[in-house]
Homo-oligomer: A and B are copies of this chain.
Amino acid sequence: MSVTAASGFEAAGVEAGLKNSGGLDLALVVNRGPLQAAAAVFTSNRAKANPILWSQQVIADGTVSAVVLNSGGANCFTGSQGFQTTHATAEQVAAELSVSAGDVLVCSTGLIGEQLDRDRVLAGVSAAAGALSANGGADASRAIMTTDTRPKTAVVNTGGWTIGGMAKGAGMLAPGLATMLVVITTDAVLEPAELDAALRSATRVSFDRLDSDGCMSTNDHVTLMASGASGIRPEVNEFTESLTELCTNLAMQLMSDAEGASHDITIEVVGAETEEDAVEVGRSVARNNLFKAAVFGNDPNWGRVLSAIGTTAAAFDPYEVDVSMNGVRVCHAGEPDQPRELVDLTPRAVHLAIDLKVGAAAATIFTNDLTHDYVHENSAYSS
């Protein structure tokens, strides 16, 4: 049910002819109210796509009527012509729905540096507006796929109110920095400021902890919209907890469908002086190609973990660190401990535990291995 699980929302996914591969490629999600409260977070890449530049203005007042998303082109580094395409898209949505263009978020994904076919986008918007339905979440979640092999959706239902979401993203996947598009909807009654605080809290420990390939997108965009249609005003903490659960669920779906990956790697850093240190250490390992290639080869090469930690500014003594892989402590206090041959890396799920032995802070980073299929997909596919 995705973004239409919560009441007050309609969605559609249509084929606008934007993707060379064909198939659904334009999605529309509409908030029918009574509230139209929203919050959004965007990529922190300084090279921002035209739809990001547009949507940053739209979100400023906390009111969003609809989100339109296309695959088949990122509309990034496409100059004023590209910006006008984004603007025209929002205007078309506004005209079809009788809302203000200034309340329409736009998201795009695909190849950077190519113009979108504006006529096809606008015709697609009209088709999507005509196809809107309270069961349209599934089609919408398919229309935003690029190299994704499957749609990603999640729903948290508390009884009184519901949160639903959809996500796309398989490469250029190092949010945190905020390649994914995510739309989350809820029928809870919440103010824009409450939504913003909840969304930032949830994304900080979910999408922002995913670092599949170290490459930050120009188009990342996570939107949360509230319709208030349930009539129920939840405790903000309770809502944030449910939202974090939903975001983590979607983030794990992104990890497990990452381009070419054969292992999902959970890097748990404990004993850090600060959470920032734990994140920096986890991310340094997540971005180490040698470690990632070793995991692909089922090789528990823990020296590569320590060499990655050594590049950080985190508080630690290299000769105090413990490292465990899938439950086997291979390094204790910077020296060889259990034989690396005891580590079984054949399951897809890999757990790497790093104890810095400095403090009580911790963080978990999620990444993937570096595989032949990753190289193949990203050398053969212009995305």
Q: Please determine whether A299 and B47 come into contact, CB atoms closer than 8 angstroms.
A: no
Number of interface residues of A (CB under 8 A): 65
Q: Please determine whether B215 and A172 come into contact, CB atoms closer than 8 angstroms.
A: no
Residue of B whose beta carbon sits closest to that of A112? B303
Chain B binder among A7-15, A56-64, A149-157, A369-377: A369-377
| B interface footprint on A43-79 (CB within 8 Å = 1, 0 otherwise) | 0011110000000000000000000000000101111
Q: A172-B307, A318-B48 are in contact. Are A375 and B293 (CB under 8 A)?
A: yes
Q: Please determine whether B215 and A289 come into contact, CB atoms closer than 8 angstroms.
A: yes
* Partner among B115, B217, B319, B375 whose Cβ is within 8 Å of the Cβ of A370: B375
* Partner among B115, B307, B334, B375 whose Cβ is within 8 Å of the Cβ of A371: B375
Kindly name the residue among A74, A171, A177, A214 whose own CB sees the greatest number of chain B CB atoms within 10 A. A214
User: A310 interface residue, CB < 8 Å from B?
Assistant: yes
User: A35 interface residue, CB < 8 Å from B?
Assistant: no
Residue of B whose beta carbon sits closest to that of A219? B307
* Partner among B113, B289, B309, B334 whose Cβ is within 8 Å of the Cβ of A302: B113
Q: How many monomers of this chain does the complex have?
A: 2
Distance in angstroms from A251 CB to nearest chain B CB is 20
Distance in angstroms from A55 CB to nearest chain B CB is 17
The CA of A78 and the CA of B79, in the complex, are separated in Å by 55
The CA of A79 and the CA of B371, in the complex, are separated in Å by 32
Distance in angstroms from A78 CB to nearest chain B CB is 7
User: A363 interface residue, CB < 8 Å from B?
Assistant: no
* Partner among B112, B177, B299, B318 whose Cβ is within 8 Å of the Cβ of A304: B112
Give the chain B neighbours of A81 by CB distance below 8 A.
335
The CA of A331 and the CA of B312, in the complex, are separated in Å by 34
User: A93 interface residue, CB < 8 Å from B?
Assistant: no
Distance in angstroms from A212 CB to nearest chain B CB is 10
User: A114 interface residue, CB < 8 Å from B?
Assistant: yes
Give the chain B neighbours of A310 by CB distance below 8 A.
45-48, 216, 218
The CA of A340 and the CA of B77, in the complex, are separated in Å by 14
Q: Please determine whether A77 and B335 come into contact, CB atoms closer than 8 angstroms.
A: yes
The CA of A218 and the CA of B306, in the complex, are separated in Å by 9
